[in-house]
Amino acid sequence: MLDLSTRSRINPLYGWQVDRSRIRNIGVDLQRPECILAESDGTLWTADARGGVVRINPDGSQQLIAQKGVSNSGSAEDLILGGTLPNGIAFDANGDILIANFGTDAIELMTRDGRSRTLYDSIDGVPLGKMNFILSDSRERIWFTVTTRAQPWTRSINEKLADGYVGLIDKRGLRIVADGFVGTNEIRLDANEEWLYVVESNARRISRLRVQADGSLRNREVYGPSDLGGTPDGFAFDSHGNLWITLILAERLIALTPQGEVLTLLDDGKPEQIEIYDRHFAAGTVTPDLMGACAGTLAPMMASLTFGGPDLRTVYLGSLKGTTLPSFRSPVAGLALPHWQRPARAYGTRP
């Protein structure tokens, strides 16, 4: 067996874990910062339950940019059942913000000054379903996920419904390109955009599909273990090919190596509460109270991660119940998203 120093040269994550004493918090009074975008100039953008995004500037100052015409009141928990609730966010080619809205079940576009409009809320005359995440690629195509078509959407957790899907928006318009997922959540493309990776939260696994030239998807397979030992929510690739994954409720950050090994990078879980939750998850008797009881202390209900900083080696954690973004340094850079090469000053806004 290779010793640790040799293994760490092969993969920088071998033998490495997050040093909690070095975690720093970015941003204050955020509300449900579920998804984060980082720009190369140091600017951060995070979804916010008040209806829009918070921009966190490199100097630490921040502004809430609310969707114009939207006035949210009440808790994020209430808004899940009605009202605007930005969940996944991404930049389009113009630098405007694409929003997968978990409250309105729509795909929306918001300029950087808050002007917002609905792009799609149905497909073939049928409501899209519970909108979750959105992703743009280097070819200016837009990928999105719908967790479930069930009403209420919470049925999908206990019933393990395989009714989630992945959609695509390109020059041909809007269409479903893969169906039958168990709680579709975040999606990511690999470095060459040859494979699309899909979180199936309620099956506790990652699947992937090979991307064809026309945007269709083929050769679906499970990537890594068939059960990750917790509920995956968000994920991101690093430049070495490791897939970093947040296990919400288990409150762990793990990495799946290219060889299929699972490495625990950070554990903020409550073992007793997790054991109770897992029993109810298996039995199909999960309630919101059981979920809330699992929340950790660093990024309560750890939901996502993003690589940023000038060298893409700063990791930011998103959460459902946090009010700030915990951050720490990584031994390996993240995989740059398509917008990373575009200077922020080059972006305009649509009329």
Coil, strand or helix at 71 = coil
Ranking 79-88, 111-120, 242-251 by mean pLDDT, the lowest is 79-88
Q: How many beta carbons lie within 10 A of that of residue 94, not counting itself?
A: 15
Nearest-Å Rg of the Cα atoms of the chain is: 19
Instruction: Give the span between the Cα atoms of 92 and 137, in whole angstroms.
Output: 9
Q: Which pLDDT belongs to residue 80?
A: 44
Nearest-angstrom CA–CA distance, 38 and 26: 12
Instruction: Categorize the per-residue pLDDT at 27 as very low, low, confident or very high, splitting at 50, 70 and 90.
Output: very high
Can you tell me the mean pLDDT for 91-103?
A: 96
Per-residue DSSP letters for 137-172?
-TTS-EEEEE----SSTTHHHHHT---EEEEEEETT
Query: Which letter, b or e, does each residue of 149-160 get, where b requires 16 or more Cβ atoms within 10 Å of its Cβ?
Result: bbeebbebbeeb
Higher pLDDT, 35 or 77: 35
**CB within 8 A of 173, min separation 6: which ones?**
none
**Structural contact between residues 294 and 302, judged by C-beta atoms closer than 8 angstroms:** no
H helical segments located in the chain = 4-10, 76-79, 155-159, 271-283, 288-292
- Region 280-295: mean pLDDT is 97
Is residue 118 pLDDT above 70, yes or no? yes
**Mean pLDDT on 259-282:** 97
Cα–Cα dist 124/237, whole Å? 34
Reported as a pLDDT band with limits 50, 70 and 90, residue 222 is: very high
pLDDT band at 2 (very low <50, low <70, confident <90, very high): low
- Label residue 59 by pLDDT band (50, 70, 90): very high
CA dist 58 and 43 (Å) reads 5
Are 295 and 251 in contact by the 8 Å Cβ rule? The answer is yes
Per-residue pLDDT at 159 exceeds 90: yes
On whether residue 236 sits in a domain, the answer given is yes
What is the predicted pLDDT for the residue at 71?
47
Residues recorded for the chain = 351
- In CATH, what number is assigned to the domain containing residue 56? 2.120.10.30
Given a cut of 70, is residue 309 above it in pLDDT?
yes
d(CA 132, CA 130): 6
pLDDT surpassing 60 at residue 134: yes
| CA gap 35, 115 in Å, rounded | 20
Domain of residue 196: give its range.
21-334
Do the beta carbons of residue 247 and residue 230 sit within 8 Å?
yes
Give me the residue label for tokens 């939260």: 201
DSSP-based helix, strand, coil % in the chain, nearest 5: 15, 40, 45
In this prediction, residue 68 carries a pLDDT of 77
* Structure token digits, residue 22: 């070095």
3 in a structural domain? no
- 57 in Cβ contact with 46 (< 8 Å): no
Q: Which two tokens stand for residue 166?
A: 């992945």
Q: What is the pLDDT of residues 225-267, one digit of tens each?
A: 999 999 999 999 999 999 999 999 999 999 999 999 999 999 9
Residue pair 223/256 in contact by the 8 Å Cβ criterion = yes
Listed in sequence order, the DSSP H helices in 160-255 are none
> How many structural domains comprise the chain?
1
Interatomic CA distance for residues 186 and 304, integer angstroms: 9
**Maximum Cα–Cα distance for the chain, whole Å?**
61
Q: Tell me, what's the pLDDT at 8?
A: 63
Q: Determine the Cα–Cα distance for residues 122 and 124; give it in Å rounded to an integer.
A: 7
Instruction: Give dist(CA 248, CA 291) in Å, integer.
Output: 9
278: in domain: yes
Grade residue 318 by pLDDT with cuts at 50, 70 and 90.
Answer: very high
Is the model's pLDDT at 350 over the cut of 70? no
Residue 10 domain-assigned (yes or no): no
Stated pTM of the model = 0.93
Q: Is residue 6 part of a domain?
A: no
pLDDT by residue (tens digit) across 206-219?
999 999 999 999 99
Please, which residues have CB within 8 angstroms of residue 335's CB and are 6 or more apart in sequence?
190, 191, 236, 237, 238, 239, 307, 312
Residue 323 corresponds to which tokens in the numbers above? 């009010």
Res 345 pLDDT > 90: no
Average pLDDT over the chain reads 92
Q: Which amino acid type is present at position 84? A: T
Query: Is 341 part of a structural domain of the chain?
Result: no
339: its two tokens: 């917008």
Quote the pLDDT of residue 347. 47
